[in-house]
Amino acid sequence: LLRLRLEALLRLRLRLRPIVLSAPALLSRPTMPLPAAPPPQLVSVAAAQFACSADRAANEDRAERAVRKAAAAGANVVLLQELFSDLYFCQVQEESLFALARERSTAGGSPGAGKGGNAAAASAAASALLGRFSALAAELGVVLPVSFFERCGQAHFNTVVVFDADGEELGSYRKSHIPDGPGYQEKFYFSPGDTGFRVFQTAFGRVGVGICWDQWFPEAARVMALNGADILLYPTAIGSEPQDATLDSRHHWRTVMQGHAGANLCVLAAANREGVEQAMDGSDQTITFYGGSFVAGPTGELWDACAWYPRQPQDHDSQVEEEPEDGISLAIGQFDLARIRLQRASWGIFRDRRPELYDAIGSLDGGTRRGAR
């Protein structure tokens, strides 16, 4: 009996004996593999910069050369400046300058339908411009937003049409924020845009487009980012202030947009014209457009920039370069949009938003959206 009890105790101890696994045994335990990283989506974005003249045909020829130059440098998305066909006519209020508008469409249907000779000519001008740059986008395989002065029925807009890399028109955006001040009297010419902020699915990522004054509003950039924009584009016409020669907005202008890029983890490009332009009413008023077109990365870093105009040292971050022989400067940056999407998701700025706390943003005075306090 004693022997049987000892044997039972021994068997119990053996069952309770701890099992110690060696390091190789622990490492061999099955684990769930991490998802594979998405393949790179490399995209090169270019912003062009050049001076405009009173010769519309010459301006549009130069714009085409700028697109070709950018494509030759490897750009997939090419941004031209705002209203590049003409001098910046909004310096003054002059009713004859409405003749610069191009008929895009009418409430009745086809462009220029049922209209007189002036409307038909305006419609033909729009078709010629947009047809030319649509064909150019297809030839070069680039995404190409095109800015122009649009007339639609009785309304006038500051408009961008976006062409995909096969030349297909993806849609248009009409400028939402319309400035009105000395030298920038756009409210005389343009109605506020009615498209809302739009994002276009292109062959090279999702592209959101704002126009000039839109670039000062963080709400516009955030709406485009919320709608999935990978790249924010801002065609621009900005320079000196006729009423105050001491006011220099160039660094403020650039820094604000670098903030949009960083706050939304998006690529951003702004294309500005350069040079001195006289008002088109024959007065002595001029604006010096300061150029400085640039491309910024998703943390707001300045990736590449064209020179400020005039090309001379002005302060610590001016870029001094010789004027190119063809008069066309380019800022270009290449980015991996797939990597940026992961970076945007992991940073948490969209995960941690609190839209229920932002009601005041929908008001003019910080009250509720309906104006009640």
**List 52, 90, 152, 212, catalytic entry:** 212
**List 60, 82, 150, 186, catalytic entry:** 82
322 in active site = no
Question: Which DSSP symbol is given to 149?
Answer: E
**List 90, 152, 175, 186, catalytic entry:** 175
Write phi, then psi, for 149 (nearest 5 degrees).
-85, 110
Tokens of 311: 């090309």
Q: Are strands 42-49 and 77-79 parallel, antiparallel or unpaired?
A: parallel
In angstroms, the CA 286 to CA 158 distance is 21
At what angle are helices 218-226 and 250-264 packed, to 10 degrees? 30
Tokens of 244: 């105050």
Lookup result for tokens 């002005």? 314
- Cβ partners under 8 Å of residue 324, min gap 6: none
Cα separation of the two ends of the chain: 93
212 in active site = yes
Pick the closest to residue 71 from 45, 42, 97, 41 (CA basis): 45
Q: Which amino acid is at 95?
A: E
Write phi, then psi, for 118 (nearest 5 degrees).
-65, -40
Lookup result for tokens 């008069």? 327
Indicate which residues carry an active-site annotation.
82, 175, 212
